[in-house]
Each structure stands twice: as structure tokens, then as C-alpha cells.
Amino acid sequence: MADPSSYRPRPGQIPDSPGVYRFRDEHRRVIYVGKAKSLRQRLASYFQDLANLHPRTRTMVTTAASVEWTVVSTEVEALQLEYSWIKEYDPRFNVKYRDDKSYPYLAVTMNEEFPRVQVMRGHKKKGVRYFGPYGHAWAIRDTVDLLLRVFPVRTCSAGVFKNAARTGRPCLLGYIGKCSAPCVGRVSAQEHRELAEEFSDFMAGRTGTYLRRLEKQMTEAAEEMEYERAARLRDDIGALRKAMEKSAVVLADATDADLIAVAEDELEAAVQIFHVRGGRVRGQRGWVTDKVEEITTGALVEHALQQLYGEETGDSVPKEVLVPALPEPVEPVQEWLTGRRGSGVSLRIPQRGDKKALMETVARNAQQALALHKTKRASDLTTRSRALEEIAEALDLDSAPLRIECFDISHLQGDDVVASMVVFEDGLQRKSEYRRFQIKGFEGQDDVRSMHEVITRRFKRYIADKEKTGEWGDEGAQEVAQDAAQDDFRDASGNTLTEDIGRPKKFAYPPQLVVVDGGQPQVAAARKALDELGIDDIAVCGLAKRLEEVWLPDEDDPVVLPRTSEGLYLLQRVRDEAHRFAITYQRTKRAKRFRSSPLDDVPGLGDTRKQALLKHFGSLKKLRSATIDQICEVPGIGRKTAETIAVALAQAAPAAPAVNTATGEIMEEEPDIMGSGGEPATAGAPDERRGQET
């Protein structure tokens, strides 16, 4: 626990102007981000008698080891910078709303030549129109099924669309009239886009125009005695009305607004949002957060507005936002919202009428969401706390291991050897800090040596970062830091980690417990790696799969936890997650190796020229038998490149002959080494998909 007076800035150092400040802990991790109209006054409030501080604020300032700030020109700039830093650093003491579910949206992909209607989750993409969010995906599909009678827009995937275009036969929806079948040319791209625009307009609330138009067409058809057409239009009108009934009218004046309600107690807060478009509730979503700082309802609303509109622009920000309490001050927030929308936004508390009544409904939803969350969370918190206490007792640790890192090795008969590192904090997955390793120290299969290498590389980075801050005093720290600087690590998305630009590295934060997937040999290798680096304050254990025994270093007998133990269950979850993450990476590498080609080793030869070579020669076999002069005939291939290609193909062993899996026939021609769109062909390789790792 740090003494705030040890890092308190001198009063004259802090400017009396708007800005954003960051508190960092001893590992240089940002633990809190805040903004202030006056940095001097705000920061002074943190450095008073600890007894006068709110308990959560007291915990934050005693956890911190330093504070820094950035001066901005206006409070709006401070609001924008605060949002950016909270998103970037993920500070543990800031209010962060967690979606209680991944809400589905109805999306129309207007960025494609033939727009597609589909259910989408996750981050929003540019050029796609979104409607919702909805509580359930089936609600979207029911609505779309009704609307396709009137607006037969494409709903199929790219693969189905291309296959229909190739065969000249539409899918089932094209035959039953629920798709205009642009894949086979029944409508042009422009006509299909107009259908998609009309579909989007109807979903946006402009329903009266289409109903009146269809009713007029139905009347004209009846007068002309085209009764079948009139009946079809009647059914279309019924489908539209049924779709409209799924979202009841709540505001009579066709208002576009978002209503935000907050339910809170001393520890947690729940936020509910109703999205009203055209007077109808078009979507609903909810968030729950821990109140890790002393905060008012207005400040909770401000954080909710940042999360809700921080990535939105244009019409995604409504003209009117109704809230239970206004942020203080309200002007910068309102100006920020106006800037996101591009026109005026009204931020206010409803006082009377339908809007106040609807706000009361939203508030009741927030109260129910908070009550449900607390019912679930109470059991979860108790279980996780008991599990960590059981682990600490079984392994004879000084305190509960709040951060656990688990390592696993994966390979296929000694090929594509990789390792994974997963992180659990307070018994919960911390996927943003997962890491993947390629074993580089040796070739072949040796799980013990691999484990030693991975533990060494991970904690070399930890020592390197400690050495930079002057916290590591061993004589060999500088040498370790140099070794770590030359090492490369990959995050969960496969990106190589390099020197950061001001943000703390994830490897700089040490665990209290290292778990390895394996028994005595793997545990001994991990302990040896830590001892060689001079690290003696991190516990190590292993979990063997066969009997689920917990092994400790230098112990001949394992620790056997009861099968009903919550501690054992948590260790199993950590081990299984590390195994899943490792095998996913190993399969990705194996699939990539299967798709490799001798041309991949030719320096400077990209996908475009590879495609040109295959298009010219037809197959790798014919390219291998071509002369240098013949290779030079390919556009973009010079003589020097042609010579390099010829050498690379001559040195590479011929690929195994392709086999027709349906007949068992050995095909004479080698398969293309490039698939459509410039992607490597996958003949003979399994269809591998990398899971959502982060």
C-alpha cells in the first residue's frame, strides 16, 4: 500500500485549467482516468486525509504510485480524451459498463453491390445500416420474414450467392418470391439497391408512405378486376401491419429519442436504454457496472453516454436523449453529442406526459435488471472467493492468487510446436491479456524444454520492464532486458508485440500463481526457469490431466483436492482454457503450412504476380517445367524474378499428387496453389476456423 504523499505533486506544478489525469500503479499500469474543469482543484481533492476519502477512492490512491496529467483547451476535448484513454487503458478503478448480453442488430449491408439483410452482433462496420438492438435474434428473423413479402431483399451468404450465380438457379427464397434473385439477373443491381433502401426506410419508421401506396395499388387492382393481384397486395399490407405491431407505438408524435434510466445501490449500478424511432421502441439494451469510484447519478449517465455514442456518428445519435439526471456540467456533454450527430441534440429530463411515463417504464426495467444481476452475482462472487481461498490453502500461499497465469504446449507429432498463456484475474478470464508463443529454441517434440523456454521468455519481458523503471536490482537485469527486447510475442489476435508508445505492457504485470498443464517434469521446468531469472515470489503448480492431481515443485507427492472442490474446478477451467487457446493456434499454424507453396519463398513475389503466373501456366506442374524465357512472358515478371522462381521451384520437392476424394483417382495435374480472390487454396487441408480468442 502506497502513501499518497510520496507521489503528490507540488501545488505549483498542477495547472489550473481543463485536462485529463491518469493514476498509475507500481507496475506503470493505468488504474484510473478522470477529467476536470480545473486539474489543480480536482487533484488536490485526492491528496487529503485518507479518513475523509470515500473507501473506494481511498483504495485507488493507496494502490497508485504516480499521477500524470494532460492539459486540453476545452471541457469537450477533456471528455473526448477521457473516453479514448478509458477505452485504451481499461483502468480497473473506472466505471466500465458491461453489456449483460451480446445484443443482435438487424443490419443491411449497403456497402455491398447487392445489399444483404442479416443478423449482426459485435462492432459496427462502416457502410452498414443497423436497426436495433433487439432482445432476441428470433425477433429479428420473424420481422424480416414478414417484410420480405414486400421488400424481397437478398438474405443469403456470399457463398450461396456466388453458387447460384454460377449455376443460374436461385435458392428456395427466390422460387417462393421472398427474394428478388439478383444472383440470376431477375433484377438489376440498381433495382435491388432501391429495394434495400425502401426496406431500410420502413425499418427507420417511415411506414405510412408504403402502406398508403400499397392500399392505393390494391384499390386500383380491384377496380380493374385484377383480383389475384389485389389479394396479394392485401396480404402484403397485412404483413407490414403485423411487423409494425411487433413494436408498439409509445410516443404519438413520431419522436426519435433514446431514453436512459439508471438503477443503483452503494456497490453497483444498472443502466437500461430504450431506442425509440418513429414513435416506436425499436431496440433495448442494458449494462451493469461496479461502482468502483464515488460517483453521482449524473456522472453515471455521462459514462453511459460516452459508451453509447463514443463510436457513433450521424443519425445513430438521436435528436433527443432523455435521462434521469443531467451530468454536471451539462454543456460540454451536450456539445459533444451535437458534434457526434452533426446537428443539435437535446439532453434533458422528461417532466410530464408520455415521455415521463415511458421513462418510468425504462426505470422499472433497470431496477429488474439490477435485482437479477445481484441474484446471479451473489452466488458467483461467493463461489469465486471460496475457490481462490481453497487454492491458497492447498498450495500454502500467503494470500489468494488474484492473478493466475496458465501455460500449455501444443503440437502435432512434434510439428508446429506452440504455447499459450491465459490469464484469470479474480477468478474471471482476462482475454485481452492472453498471449501465444512459437517455440524457437529447438526443433522437435519436448514439452519440458518447451515449457522452460516459454516461462523464460514471458518473465524476461517482465524483468525487462521492471529494469526500465529501476525496480529490478540484479546484476544480470540489463542482459535479460536486451534478450527480451529481441524476443517477439503475439497477442490473442496474432499481432506481434513491439515497443509500446506510452501504454504499459501487459507482461509487466506479474501473477501470484503460475499454473502449467502437466505433471512433475513440467512444474520442475517452470520453477527452474523462474529460479534462473531470480524470481522467487511467484508460486508454481501443475495440473495433471489423468487424475487431476496438483503438483508442486520439489514435492514427491501431489496435492489431491476433493472432486467437489471449487478450487479444483477453477484450476481445471484455467487449464482447459489454456489448452483450447493453444490448440486453436496450433491448428491455425498447421492449416497455414498446408496451404504453403514454393512460390511463398520467392522474395518480392506477391499474391498478384502469383495469380498472374497461375493464370498463364494453369498449374504449378506446368510452371515448374517452364523455361526462364517462358516465365518472363508473364506480365510483371522480369528476368531476375524469373530466375529466382525457377531456382525456388527446382529446389522444392514436388508436391504429393492430388487425389479426388470422391473416386480415389490420382489426378495428374497439381492443384492450383492460389484460390479465388488471391487466397491460398485449401485442397487437402481441413477447414479450420480460429475461434474468438480475445
Q: C-alpha distances in angstroms, 378 versus 375, 381, 382, 571, 641?
A: 6, 5, 6, 21, 67
What's the pLDDT score for residue 243? 61
Q: pLDDT per residue over 604-623, tens digit each? A: 787 788 888 878 887 777 88
What's the pLDDT score for residue 624? 82
Longest dimension (CA), the chain: 98
What's the pLDDT score for residue 500? 41
What stretches of 395-499 show up as alpha helix (H) in DSSP?
Answer: 447-468, 477-486
670 membership: H or E segment, kind and range: none
Q: pLDDT per residue over 370-398, tens digit each? A: 887 777 766 677 788 888 999 998 888 88
Residue 405 reports pLDDT greater than 90: yes
> At 414, is the pLDDT very low, low, confident or very high (cuts 50, 70, 90)?
low
- With cell 516465365, the residue in question is 631
User: How far apart are alpha carbons 606 and 507 in whole angstroms?
Assistant: 35
> At 471, is the pLDDT very low, low, confident or very high (cuts 50, 70, 90)?
low
What's the pLDDT score for residue 279? 73
Residue 91 reports pLDDT greater than 50: yes
- With cell 483502468, the residue in question is 91
* Crossing angle for the helix pair 477-486 and 447-468, to the nearest 10 degrees: 110
What's the pLDDT score for residue 143? 72
Q: Which three cell numbers stand for residue 57?
A: 477512492
Mean predicted confidence (pLDDT) in 310-329? 86
Q: pLDDT per residue over 494-525, tens digit each? A: 544 443 434 445 566 788 999 998 888 899 99
- With cell 451468404, the residue in question is 157
Identify which has the larger pLDDT, 665 or 429: 429
Q: C-alpha distances in angstroms, 202 versus 103, 277, 420, 470, 543?
A: 21, 11, 48, 63, 57
User: How far apart are alpha carbons 364 and 249 in whole angstroms?
Assistant: 19
Residue 308 reports pLDDT greater than 80: yes
Q: Which three cell numbers stand for residue 382?
A: 461467493
| Residue 207: half-sphere exposure toward Cβ, Cα within 13 Å | 20
Q: pLDDT per residue over 100-117, tens digit each? A: 456 677 889 988 889 998
> At 78, is the pLDDT very low, low, confident or very high (cuts 50, 70, 90)?
confident
Short-list 187, 155, 190, 157, CA closest to 173:
155
**CA-based end-to-end distance of the chain:** 32
pTM exceeds 0.75: no
User: How far apart are alpha carbons 170 and 180 in whole angstroms?
Assistant: 9
Short-list 538, 502, 485, CA closest to 28:
502
Residue 407 reports pLDDT greater than 90: yes
Question: In 216-297, where do the E strands start and end?
Answer: 257-264, 268-277, 280-290
Identify which has the larger pLDDT, 76 or 240: 76
Q: Which three cell numbers stand for residue 430?
A: 482476462
What's the pLDDT score for residue 82? 85
What's the pLDDT score for residue 76? 83
What's the pLDDT score for residue 682? 35
Residue 678 reports pLDDT greater than 70: no
Answer positive or negative: Cα dihedral of 227, 231, 234, 236.
negative
Q: C-alpha distances in angstroms, 176 versus 149, 170, 437, 526, 616?
A: 10, 10, 52, 63, 43
Under DSSP, the state recorded for 682 is -
Mean predicted confidence (pLDDT) in 154-176? 88
User: How far apart are alpha carbons 53 and 59 in whole angstroms?
Assistant: 9
Q: Which three cell numbers stand for residue 630?
A: 517462358
